Amino acid sequence: MTKQKSGGLGRGLGSILPDIDLEVNRPKTDTISTVPVDKVTANPFQPRKEFEEEALEELTQSIRQQGVITPITVRSMPDGSYQLIAGERRLRASQRAGLKEVPAYIRVATDNQMMEMALVENIQRENLNAMEVALAYRSLIEECQLTHEELSEKMGKNRSTITNYLRLLNLPAETQLALSNDLISMAHARALGGVEDIERHLEILHAILDRHLSVHETEQMVKAGKKKPKVAVSRRGELPDTYTSAQSRLKKYLGSTVEIKRTQRGKGTLTIAFNSDSDFDRIVALLEK
C-alpha cells in the first residue's frame, strides 16, 4: 500500500474536477491542446498574491530554451477566451518569453471548482506561506459555504490542521506580517496565539525577532507570562519589614514615639507623639532639616 506524503496537500486536481466532455469542437478533459497566450485571463481565485521576481525570471529563461514543459490548466469561456485555473507562474513566464501559444489542459469547471483547484495547485507546487494558505482556506469556506469538516475532506487534511491555519487570521496584524515575510514560523505564531494581552503578545513577538528565539524558548516565555507572580501578603495588622524598619529609624531620629498603621491595600497613617509645645517645635525643626 502506497503511503501518502505527509507534507503534500493530500488530494490532486482530479479529485476535485471529474472527467467530463466539453462542448462541441473542444478537446476532452485532460486532452492537451495549445491556446493563444493573449486569450488567457488570470484566475480571480488565485491565492498567491506575490511571485518572487528572481524565480519568475529563471522560469522565463528556462521556457525560452526548453519551452513550457508542464501545461497550464484553463477553462473555456463563452466568448472564446480561456480563464486560467492553474499555472500562473508558467503563464507569466511564457508572456515574458514572448510565446504566442502555450500548451494547456482545457477543462470544464465551476467557480467553486476553480477556487479549489487554484488552492490545491499552488500549495502543491509553489509553497504558499502560512498566511496565504489561511486566507485561501477562508475564501473557500466563505465562497463555497463549507464547514471546517467539509473543507478538511476536500483538502485531504485533518480538521485540526484547517483550524490551526484559520486561527492565524485572528493574530495581530504585526504578527501576521512577520509570518507572511517568513520572519517567524507557524509554530511561533501558534505559541503567540495563546497570548491574549496585546502588549505582552507584541513584547514576545519582538523578542523572537530581536533575539531569534526558538519555538521552545517562545513557548517558555509564553508560559512564564501566564504565571501570576507571588506577592508576599502580611498578616492583618502586621507591618511589612520596610515599614517596621522605617518606623524604628524615625523613632530614633526624632527621639519620640512613632506609630505606623497600614491596610492590606497600602493605605495608612503615620503618627508622631510629642509631649509639649516645645517638643512639637523640636520635632518640626528636625523634619524641616
User: Concatenated DSSP letters for 82-148?
Assistant: EEEEE-HHHHHHHHHHT-SEEEEEEE---HHHHHHHHHHHHHHHH---HHHHHHHHHHHHHHHT--H
Structural domain boundaries, residue 249: 241-288
pLDDT digits (tens, 9 = 90+) for 2-41: 333 333 334 444 444 444 333 333 434 556 789 999 999 8
pLDDT digits (tens, 9 = 90+) for 236-280: 557 788 888 888 888 888 888 888 888 777 788 888 888 888 888
41-45, 97-101, 170-174: range with lowest mean pLDDT: 41-45
| Statement to judge: residues 37 and 83 lie in one domain | yes
| Statement to judge: residues 87 and 177 lie in one domain | no
- Among 78, 111, 144, the domain boundary falls at 111
The total domain count for the chain is 3
- Domain for residue 8, yes or no? no
As a whole number of angstroms, the distance between CA 96 and CA 57 comes to 8
Model pTM score: 0.50
| Statement to judge: residues 216 and 272 lie in one domain | no
- Domain for residue 131, yes or no? no
| Statement to judge: residues 27 and 77 lie in one domain | yes
| Statement to judge: residues 212 and 247 lie in one domain | no
CATH of the domain at 98: 3.90.1530.10
| Statement to judge: residues 186 and 249 lie in one domain | no
Taking alpha carbons only, the member of 190, 165, 145, 139 closest to residue 9 is: 165
| Residue 234 · residue 265 · CB < 8 Å | no
- Domain for residue 102, yes or no? yes
Where in the sequence numbering do the catalytic residues fall?
Answer: 88
- Domain for residue 206, yes or no? yes
Taking alpha carbons only, the member of 198, 200, 199, 202 closest to residue 210 is: 202
| Statement to judge: residues 208 and 270 lie in one domain | no
| Statement to judge: residues 18 and 100 lie in one domain | yes
| Statement to judge: residues 254 and 216 lie in one domain | no
- Domain for residue 165, yes or no? no
The CB-side HSE value for 255 (13 A sphere, CA atoms) comes to 9
